[in-house]
Amino acid sequence: MPAADVTIPNRSLSLIGVEEISSLTDDTESAKACNRHYERVVVGLLSKHPWRFAMRKVQLTQETAPTNEWRYAYTMPSNMIGEVVAVFDSAAVGARPINRFEVFGRAIYADAAKVYIDHRIRVAEALWPPWFGDLAMHHLASLIAEELTDDSEKARTQWQIAYGSPQENNQGGLFQEARKLNAMQQPPMAVEDFSLIGARFGGMP
């Protein structure tokens, strides 16, 4: 297994005035702090929004027919993180998501003879757009700042850079800018196209 990328952790450490590390497995307090939080930050951020750079569309493999009202069961990808973003019964360009399905553990049950999904994966740091790296950097810095510097104000400052003021309910700052830049990479679509609302049998009324 290749060594974990320490570019973002080192940028976070630099923000709070702490010496950089050579590896997340270094026997130092800064490396241990980064190692405790870094992957959770990355996966959490990737799961937080349908970032285009982390999105993949795949056809699912059928399992043994389920013993319930659905005709088919499909295995979800092992590299999927977060929730399913959208479910389709066609790979055709312009196909709209379906809402007649249910999720059971790591499987999707549906009546469609073929199922495709949009989902997120854990993307290597080298493939991140700069704005996502900046968001991850400040988020991580907010978590390790007080732990490594005993300065709660540094932690608060880094969090607000990442997510804005308390009045913005964690939807401002770099996160808001990242969502705007992400939206520029895709054509407009209805809100329901990226929602699992109504995913239960029969959908929404």
Read off the tokens for 84: 């399913």
Residue 3's pLDDT is what? 59
pLDDT tens for the chain, residues 1 to 205: 345 799 999 999 999 999 999 999 999 999 999 999 999 999 999 999 999 999 999 999 999 888 889 999 999 999 999 999 999 999 998 899 999 999 998 999 999 999 999 999 999 999 999 999 999 999 999 999 999 999 999 999 999 999 999 999 999 999 999 999 999 876 544 333 333 433 433 333 3
3-state DSSP call for residue 125? Answer: helix
Q: Which of 156, 137, 136 is nearest to 146 (CA)?
A: 156
From residue 95, alpha-carbon distances to 5, 54, 68, 87, 190 in Å are 37, 20, 27, 10, 13
First to last CA, the chain: 49
- According to DSSP H, which parts of the chain are helical? 7-15, 29-48, 130-149, 152-163, 173-183
CA distance 173 to 164: 4
Q: How many CB atoms lie within 10 A of CB 191?
A: 7
The strands making up 101-104's β-sheet, listed across from edge to edge, are 61-62, 72-75, 107-110, 101-104
Which residues are bridge partners to 109 per DSSP?
Answer: 73, 102
H helices then E strands: how many in the chain?
Answer: 5, 7
pTM above 0.85, yes or no: no
Count of residues for the chain? 205
Q: What is the largest CA-CA distance in the chain?
A: 59
Give Cβ neighbours of residue 177 (< 8 Å, ≥ 6 apart): 131
Q: What are the residue ranges spanned by the domains of the chain?
A: 7-49+124-183, 54-121
